[in-house]
Structure 1
Amino acid sequence: MKPIRVLIVDDSASVRTILTEIVAAEPDLEVLGTASNPYFAAEKMREEIPDVIICDIEMPRMDGITFVQKLMSQRPVPVVICSSLAEAGSKMALQALEAGAVEIITKPRVGTPQFLMEAKTRICDAVRAASKAKVQPRTKTIEVQKKLTADAVLPPARGRPIERTTDKVVVIGASTGGTEALRRLLEDLPADSPGIVIVQHMPAGFTTAFAKRLNTLCQIEVREAATGDRVVPGLALIAPGNHHLLLQRSGAQYHVEVRDGPLVTRHRPSVDVLFRSAARAAGANALGIIMTGMGDDGAKGMLELHQTGARTLGQDEASCIVYGMPKEAMKLGAVDLELPLERLAPEIRRFANDHGPRPEGGAK
């Protein structure tokens, strides 16, 4: 029997590598090719049509659900959605199935050998089942959840930029790989570090425990944010899962607001929302840091921060688990400087002691 030919479509190089290794290890499966987005996948399909496509949801240029819709209306191929956003029963999982996907599986993460073995089994079984599916052309357009910008939560900064003062704040955004990266960053900070506000993409119920764990490891205090919490030196506030977190200013003092609202760049909390609020409230008094993560959340918000005179840093590709969010911010010209993870804490300390004007541009 001919092996089942699989095309893997995911914007993360590390995920493409993991999926390739999993599929290629099976004698009845074959990796036809990989693509970082649906446009490259379409180019590969002009040469040869795969038996099954494994596809992420959140990707640059075109999301996975739209890709599935186009496939089903033009050249139906069985699609297995493999995404951390498409957990069983979620709205996106249902949208993917309505668009024509035949199976939904959770993206494999680094874990114990047993976990990886279970993930391997689920993925390969899903591919085998999908190869037998009789997919039919679909002409009906499924309404896909619109990818909202930070405009859905708060308007952009207006008027005269906020001038540089001695009141400084650090805003940080992270996603995939961010829990460990944040631990390493915050552990390296002294107790008198500037106040820090963090968005880490995590579901509700997890951020409280995450903050408590960090609080036991760090010299600074770390806790889950609540509306009205002041942003003061020696304190890091983490956005509660499933809620946006905004930086606000009242007189000379910063505080945070926890706010409900729609998904922004398909996330809640959203880094774009935090960074925009920092552009409005702090401007040149802020240091923005975008860290490891998939997708583009935070890129536009960081550009707004940069345009107000804030210092902006990106975690470099070599130290990122997934070089997605920093990469997209770099593309927009929003990042002053890219640094390896271990150099971010010293840069925060330098920022705390720097009272001069922000350097124009900076090394890329």
Structure 2
Amino acid sequence: LEDNTVPSIIKEDKFQELLIEEGSEILKSCYEKGSKNNYNIKTELTGEDSNQLYSFMDTYFSLNNGFTILAIEEPESHLHPALQRVIYKDVMEKNTSLLMTTHSPYITSVAPIDSIVHLRHTSNGTSIKTTAALNIGKRDRVDLERYIDIKRGEIYFGRGVILIEGVAEEYLIPSFAEKLGMPLDSKGIICCNVNSTNFEPYVKFLDALGIPYVVITDGDYYLNVKEGEKTVPKFGLLKEEDHEDFGFDGNDRIKQILINCKGFTEEQIPVEYDKQDKLFSEHGFFVGVHTMEIDIMSEIKELSHEKKILNNLFSELTLGGLKQKKNFSVELEQGKYISCLNKLESSHSGIGKGRFAQHFSVVCTENHIPEYIKGAIESIYKRVDEL
């Protein structure tokens, strides 16, 4: 099945003949003389050299022995997941022209991201998109390929996608959607944790595929503070009414995505944060105020039942004693949410944000859901329904 356009060994007389052809410099880069005066291909070729060599050989050294295209339909049928990956490694990675149709995340998780032709049903017929012209840098490409592992290979099959920052959101967003009466699975919506705030390559990727998406990210509020002649952002503070010179790191990040991915100019993005949030939401970006945990606490500051749920859960999970449990309860009541979050993350409590979110997802109520998360879930539901 392998494409033999590029031979691994060329006899000396043929090599000398090829050297007179236009573009033959690539031969000297890719072949070295062996012990029997034949020329052997070097074991490691860059992608650019490989493409140039293929083009040269296809023009001047065609073997005229036919060209094979291997087509496989649904290779996952009756095949163990481990063997599905073997198909890719043993067949797809060879120099073979291959067409494969699949619904298997085991195969899509290891397929090159620039080799995808994505078909999806819409009310206007079948939409066909390709990642062949995906315009992202080398580092972002590596991040994407590492990201789309077996867990996230299903991103291709979602009717809609929610991009989130971390594991806490991974537990809570599906649960919040259930509480709102908008379960994600029933709409084919996938919640994808990118383990960072670097959403840009994923936005470009989903735009290339034409898959509807929303992004949920922390606001990461900061106060601009004078330090000598410089003004520096100070994080770890709650937003107060008397704060005048402040900002949101989340808004700054989304603003840059609109410029880099959506064709906006700096001047087209309003300075006022309420207007920014309106613009962002229209394009599928939903930004909190602080972190999600603090925004949840802020949401229930007047709700005793919902605060009791958080207190009880902390008391059940913490390794600390009665004093720590009481301090958490008092600080939650006093609105000292940063201190409460620090206790969740503290080694003394032994909880961590991920574990807390996992248990909280079972007992949370609709009242715990911050407005920006409600907006994101409602938005992705609407976008999927419009297909």
Q: TM-score, normalised to structure 2's length?
A: 0.27
Larger Rg: 2
Q: TM-score, normalised to structure 1's length?
A: 0.28
